[in-house]
Each structure stands twice: as structure tokens, then as C-alpha cells.
Structure 1
Amino acid sequence: MIYTVTFNPSLDYIVSVEDFRLGLTNRTSSELILPGGKGINVSTVLGNLGIESTALGFVAGFTGAEICKETEAAGIRSDFIQIEEGISRINLKLKSIDGTEINGQGPDISEEKVSMLMEKLDALKAEDVLVLAGSIPASMPDDIYQKIMERLKGRGVRIVVDATKDLLLNVLDYQPFLIKPNNHELGEIFGVNLSTRDEVIPYGRKMQEKGARNVLISMAGEGAVLIAEDGQVYTSPAPKGTLVNGVGAGDSMVAGFLAGWLKQRDYEYAFHMGIAAGSASAFSEYLATRSEIEAVYKTLM
């Protein structure tokens, strides 16, 4: 079973506004409300590819209830922990201006609730996959990723980490199965600018030397690189297509990689499935469907 953890899930309010103007009343030309958060995105795309997963995390208030409702409606198995005070956050994403978002804060999460999550994770067993993705709320300990990985150490659970800088660096000693920095995040770690596929390879190897088993580096329009556990390096330019919505593309890449690896246990196939899923989501209004992913995958072969 695959488990995804979203510490601070959201309701994403995705709107388009024609001719957006600051300081004036603007009206939407389209609206969409969807459950959001990196772990939930991974679970959604896995589900679209026919792979079951369980979404874990924390929800609160009427927005939390809607997150649960929407994830269940999407066919995602969830086991969220309820927070009695506050509300789950609402994130505003303005499609008309690519990359423009206003993200909420979310509820405070107590030590008791963190302990409840740990108890749920104790049920994981060998061959299970755990996806830890995204930032950590300010109310939670900043070493929660490390505590989870320490708790699961030696259990045979494959752990995927999609996080930035210190959050990522601090878990490498626990030999995560997969990490997925983008080229900018990788460059920030080492204090360099990385813009081409060839440039990221030696730094991806450095992350592997620090403990990561597989390093998948997304590079938007430049494509992607995988430094695999078996010593192989796979590179690919970005598939051709029109960027429609970049939100969730990286999460989709993680889901595609996992789906490919679980299906064939072949890193090259997993790599291309990751690229296909990430690109298909970028070319779509929302997270990619199976048919959209398969269509992009065919262009890579």
C-alpha cells in the first residue's frame, strides 16, 4: 500500500480573471474548488492511474470536512486526523497570472495529534511506500520528517521525500527511496545555478552520496534527470505541449514514477512515467487523467 502524508492540506480555490487589475473589483471567468496539498495530489494521480493509496494528514473545521468529502468523491481512501480548533486552509490560485497564489495558514497541530499520526504510521509494513511531501506547519516540530523516518527505520518501508533545503538534507541519512528536488532547489542546496540537464547530474550524485537511493530532478521546460540506485543516469527533454496549469506537476511526477516502478520495477520505465505524468498535468486544467498521461508517454518512446 502507498500512504501519502499532507500535514497542511487545503481547499484550492482556482480562479481565472480576465484582465486582472490591482485596486479594482475583478470578476472571475472560471472557478474550481479542489482538495489540495502535495500528498493529496500524489494520491489523486495514483488513483487516476488505477493505484490505491491512503491519504493521511490533519484537517479542521468546515474546510476540513469539505477536503474529506472531495477526496472521497475522487475515490481516494483517506484517514485524516481531525483537529478540533481552527480550519483547514484555503489557497487562492490565480490562473490568469501563472504562479500567483495566496496560501492560508491552517490550524495549529498539537503534540497529541502528532502522536496520533505516528501511531497510524506504526501500521506500515515492509514493501509499503510512504510519501512525505511539502512544508511543515509552524506549530509542528521542524524535525518531524526525521522523527517519522527514524521511527520506521529498519521496517522495509520505502520512503519518498519531496521537500526543500534543510527538510530534505536532514533526512538523507535515513536513505530515502526517492527524493525529487527541482533544479532550482538542488542549486540552492549547493549554492550554484543549474539550468541544463548535464549540470544537475553531478549534484544529483552528491545527494545520492549523502544517502538518497534515487534522485529525480524536475526541470520544467528543460525536462528531467534521474540518478538511479542501480548506477544508471536517465535524462529526457520536456515533452512538447502548452503549459496550462503548473500546479501539481511535480507531485504528478512523483506519482507517475511510483506507478511505473511498482508496475515493472524498472527505473527507466518509472522515469518516463514520471515525466509523462508531470507533463500531462502541466498541460491540463487539473491533475492529469490516465488517458492524458498515456498520450504523453507515447511521445517519449
Structure 2
Amino acid sequence: MKHYKITTVTVNPALDKSTHLRGLVPEQKIRCDAPRYDAGGGGINVSKAIARLNGESLALFTAGGPTGEMIKELLLKEGIKVDPITVQNWTRESFVAVDDNTNSQYRFGFPGAALSELEKEMVLEKVKAIATDFLVLSGSLNEGLPTDFYKQIAEIAKKSNIKVIVDTSGESLQKVLETNVYLIKPNVGELAKLVGVDRLEMEEVNDAAKKIIAQGSAEIIVVSLGPQGAALITKDSYDYVPAPNVAKKSTVGAGDSMVGGMVWALSQNKSLAEVLRWGVACGSAATMNEGTQLFKIEDANRLFEWLKSK
């Protein structure tokens, strides 16, 4: 098998459908614009972000039915290398609608259909066979999957000295941290849960992250602080950058774009300071576009240049 610097895993992908409407009125038929379709799901979005930075990754994902086939075709059109795992149930859809009258965005996400025991094993066997430097586990898990499924994948990857990057939440994040992964990207609320408190103030983020690192759960923690920016913490360093002031149109895919920018920078052997700034630049640039389109490279480049001095 070909060696890829980056491989992304998406066990619960989605065919993202987005549209515009003018006036959301109960009980009435709502006329919408022609829909836009995008391949979605955490890891898939990370691969798309890497492609926009002229990087290369392998997108490993489950794909079922016509929706799964459409996701594969959309990724191939973007020049992304794919390794779909064919499953019986159709891949889920998600739906984003923008009301032009109010500029309000409505996001609807459906649960992913359950994977059979055989299909779970297919995912794990694929991971055993990959040759990669960085493995990105991103997004939600399907209905019925055990909360330690990402942990199982991470344990397999670590046996091959693969650096595991995780962007998920809840119990699946807590479980995967038992394997000492390379990098996690919680938001400040998720970080608070990991250290057992209700909330964290800005000045408490560094100590909270270092506590998790000291426990051997992760080497690098990047904390997303929303409109305040982001911080990158290791056992002996702390770096913070503010979020650029941009005209936001959608937050869909911003977190995945941030992860994509960071893992791309890591694969290019850039410094951790640059890794953080590329992540914030790509995440912020993604909010400048509608629907599920992620970011434009020219926006990411411009924001990165601004962040270099921060």
C-alpha cells in the first residue's frame, strides 16, 4: 500500500445538502433554491481542507447506498485519494438552510445508521493495513458503535508508531485519551469536562490542558476558544493567537478546517507556532463562506500572514 503522510478516518460521513430560502413559516410549503451537495463528516472535511492547501491525504470512510457513492464521486472530483469501505446501510445526509430574510442559518443533522459487526471489523482491518505518518480521527460515531471505537483505532495506529490526532467529544474523547494520542482539539467547554469542572476562564486553560498532558493523555492540546481564538499547549509551552475579525457567513466545517490546516502544517514539518496559526487561519477562513464549502486558499493565506505577527 502507498504511504501517505496523512490519513483521515470518517466512520460516520454525511452527504451535506445546503440551500437558501426566503421566510420560514410553519405549516406552509417553503420554496428553496437549488441545493448544493458536498461530501461531509469530520475526517472527510479535514481531507478537503488539506487538498485546498495543495496537500495530499487518504480519506478512509464508510460508504453505503447512493449517498455514499455520491460522496466518493464528490471527493474524487476534488482530487482527493479515497478508500471507501462499502457498508449495507445508506450513508446519512445533513441539511443546512439559510433564510435570506433574516440571514439565520438552520442546521439539521441525522444520525448515522448502525454498522454491523463485520463492518466494524472492516474499518479496523483497514486501519491495520495503512501506512501513514498522521492518522486523523474526526467526527461523531454511528448509532450503536461503542464509545471506545476511536480508542480501538488509536491503539492499532500506535503499534505502528503513527501519530494520532483526535477531534471528537464526549465519552469517545475521554476513552481515546487512555491511549496517549499525539494531539487533541477540544473547545473550552470540552476541556472543562475533561478536567471535571463546569467551566474554565481564559486564564485557567493553560493549567487545565497541562493537567491532561501530565496524565499522559496527549502530547499537544489545541483549545478552540471560539471568537477569542485558540491556544496550543504542550508540557512546557503555551501559545495563544486571537481570531481574525472576519465577516462570518457560516460556522459549518470551521473546526474541521482548523484541524486540516494544523495537520497539513505538521506534515510539512512547520513549527508549532505556525501549526497553530495555520489552524486558526483555515478555521476563520471557513466561516467566510456559506453552507458547507469550507475555505478558499487565498483567504487562508491572507489570514495566516496577518496571524504571523500575533
TM interval, short-chain normalised: over 0.9
Question: Any conservation in 1 of the 2:151–2:177 contact (CA below 8 Å)?
Answer: no
Give the equivalent residue in structure 2 for 1:268: 273
1:132 and 2:114 are equivalent in the alignment: no
Compute the displacement of 1:205 (Å): 1.5
- Given candidates 49, 56, 61, the residue that maps to 2:53 is 49
Compute the displacement of 1:69 (Å): 0.7
Question: Any conservation in 2 of the 1:110–1:139 contact (CA below 8 Å)?
Answer: no
Question: Any conservation in 1 of the 2:113–2:143 contact (CA below 8 Å)?
Answer: no
1:118 and 2:121 are equivalent in the alignment: no
Question: Any conservation in 1 of the 2:41–2:139 contact (CA below 8 Å)?
Answer: yes
Give the equivalent residue in structure 2 for 1:142: 147
- Given candidates 188, 193, 215, the residue that maps to 1:183 is 188
Which stretch of the first structure deviates more once superposed, 147-156 or 112-121? 147-156
Q: In the TM superposition, what are the counterparts of 1:172-211 in structure 2 within 5 Å?
A: 172-189=177-194, 190-194=196-200, 196=202, 198-210=203-215, 211=217
**Unmatched runs of 5 consecutive residues or more in structure 1:** none
Which stretch of the first structure deviates more once superposed, 35-44 or 204-213? 204-213
1:83 and 2:87 are equivalent in the alignment: yes
Cα distance in 2 for residues equivalent to 1:73 and 1:67: 10
Cα distance in 2 for residues equivalent to 1:21 and 1:122: 51
Question: Any conservation in 1 of the 2:13–2:40 contact (CA below 8 Å)?
Answer: yes
Which stretch of the first structure deviates more once superposed, 160-169 or 269-278? 160-169
Question: Any conservation in 2 of the 1:83–1:107 contact (CA below 8 Å)?
Answer: no
Cα distance in 2 for residues equivalent to 1:40 and 1:156: 23
Question: Any conservation in 2 of the 1:124–1:157 contact (CA below 8 Å)?
Answer: no
In the superposition, relative to structure 1, how do residues 30 and 219 fare at CA in structure 2: closer, same or farther (>3 Å)?
farther
Cα distance in 2 for residues equivalent to 1:16 and 1:91: 15
Question: Any conservation in 1 of the 2:187–2:223 contact (CA below 8 Å)?
Answer: yes
Compute the displacement of 1:99 (Å): 5.7
Q: Percent identity?
A: 31
Give the equivalent residue in structure 1 for 2:284: 279
Compute the displacement of 1:145 (Å): 1.0
Cα distance in 1 for residues equivalent to 2:264 and 2:33: 35
Give the equivalent residue in structure 2 for 1:35: 39
Amino acid at match of 1:35: A
Q: TM-score, normalised by structure 1?
A: 0.93
Compute the displacement of 1:222 (Å): 0.9
Q: TM-score, normalised by structure 2?
A: 0.90
- State the Cα deviation string for residues 242-263 of structure 1 (Å, max 9, x = none): 1111011011111111122222
Q: Secondary structure at the match of 1:57?
A: strand
In the superposition, relative to structure 1, how do residues 99 and 227 fare at CA in structure 2: closer, same or farther (>3 Å)?
farther
Cα distance in 2 for residues equivalent to 1:104 and 1:6: 15
Q: Secondary structure at the match of 1:34?
A: strand
Amino acid at match of 1:129: F
Report how many residues are paired. Answer: 297
Amino acid at match of 2:61: G
Give the equivalent residue in structure 1 for 2:303: 296
Q: Secondary structure at the match of 1:79?
A: strand
- State the Cα deviation string for residues 89-131 of structure 1 (Å, max 9, x = none): 1111123365632222333211111211222111234x61111
In the superposition, relative to structure 1, how do residues 74 and 200 fare at CA in structure 2: closer, same or farther (>3 Å)?
same
Cα distance in 2 for residues equivalent to 1:143 and 1:241: 38
Give the equivalent residue in structure 2 for 1:95: 98
Cα distance in 1 for residues equivalent to 2:210 and 2:26: 45
Amino acid at match of 1:276: A
- State the Cα deviation string for residues 2-30 of structure 1 (Å, max 9, x = none): 11111111111112222222332222246
- Given candidates 61, 67, 70, the residue that maps to 1:63 is 67
Q: Secondary structure at the match of 1:122?
A: helix
Compute the displacement of 1:173 (Å): 2.6
